[in-house]
Amino acid sequence: MALTFTFDPAVTPELRDGILDLWADVSNAGGAVGFVPPVTPEAIRPELVKHFAAMAEGRTRLLVGHDEQGKVAATAFLTLNTHRLMTHWLWLYTVMVHPRHQGKGYGRDLLAAAEDAARGLDGIEAIRLTCRGGLGLERFYGSCGYKEVGRIPGAIRVAPGDDRDDVIMLLPLG
Ligand SMILES: CC(C)(COP(=O)(O)OP(=O)(O)OC[C@H]1O[C@@H](n2cnc3c(N)ncnc32)[C@H](O)[C@@H]1OP(=O)(O)O)[C@@H](O)C(=O)NCCC(=O)NCCS
């Protein structure tokens, strides 16, 4: 069993709704993708619309993984920099695998597919991302070859009195 990954899929209503459901399910299971539970797909929609707008402008590319039932099971967004001195690397955002599929190696497959996609883009030499501290995510990204290159203490306030580090991870594509 494996996910089927597609880079730059056509944006259909099914894909949009599948991503919204995935994002809500991941968030409500405690995933660190920009929201805290409880959250509804409707509350997430504006964030997804921002990704779609960036995709329409060619600044962001979507990588999506489908399971055998054809359901959206994983995503990662690859975002190019607009700063003219930073066009040689990109950002990886909203890395997630549906809770029912976590722990089966699909996260690592997703990051391998993202790395392949980035290597296929002209002039891209590194992938940078940030993750929320305190969840072990550094270990996940570390197992995929990323190195921690920075950490902003307490930059993410998930709840009053619960501040988490914002951890910066980098994968040089050398
Ligand atoms: C993080 C995430 C993408 C990993 O996907 P996954 O399919 O569960 O991970 P895999 O099964 O491919 O695991 C790969 C390795 O990372 C480790 N790992 C996975 N999630 C981990 C976590 N949260 N903390 C520590 N280690 C983790 C696994 O143990 C495995 O290591 P091993 O081979 O030494 O056992 C997934 O758990 C997820 O979507 N989480 C919620 C959303 C989220 O927080 N995304 C990160 C945004 S920065």
CATH number assigned to the domain comprising residue 118: 3.40.630.30
Would 170 be classed as within a structural domain? no
Over 90: is that where the pLDDT of 1 sits?
no
Q: How far apart are CA 139 and CA 141, in angstroms?
A: 6
Count the neighbouring beta carbons within 10 Å of the beta carbon of residue 127. 25
Site to probe by mutation for ligand 1, drawn from 97, 100, 109, 146 as the one with most ligand atoms within 8 Å of Cβ, is 97
108 C-alpha to center of ligand 1: Å?
8
Q: Is 166 in the pocket of ligand 1 (CB under 6 A)?
A: no
What is the overall mean pLDDT for the chain?
Answer: 98
Q: Is 26 in the pocket of ligand 1 (CB under 6 A)?
A: yes
Beta-carbon contacts of 133 under 8 Å, excluding residues fewer than 6 positions away, are 151, 156, 164, 165, 166, 167
Distance from the Cα of residue 117 to its chain's centroid: 13
Would 139 be classed as within a structural domain? no
What is the total count of domains within the chain?
1
Q: How far apart are the first and last CA of the chain?
A: 31
Looking at the CA of residue 96, tell me the nearest atom of ligand 1.
Answer: 39
> What is the extent of the structural domain holding 103?
4-128
Q: Is 139 in the pocket of ligand 1 (CB under 6 A)?
A: yes
Would 124 be classed as within a structural domain? yes
> How does pLDDT run across 60-76, given as a tens digit for each residue?
999 999 999 999 999 99
pTM: 0.97
Pairing mode of beta strands 4-7, 126-132: unpaired
Instruction: Give φ, ψ of 46 to 5 degrees.
Output: -60, -35
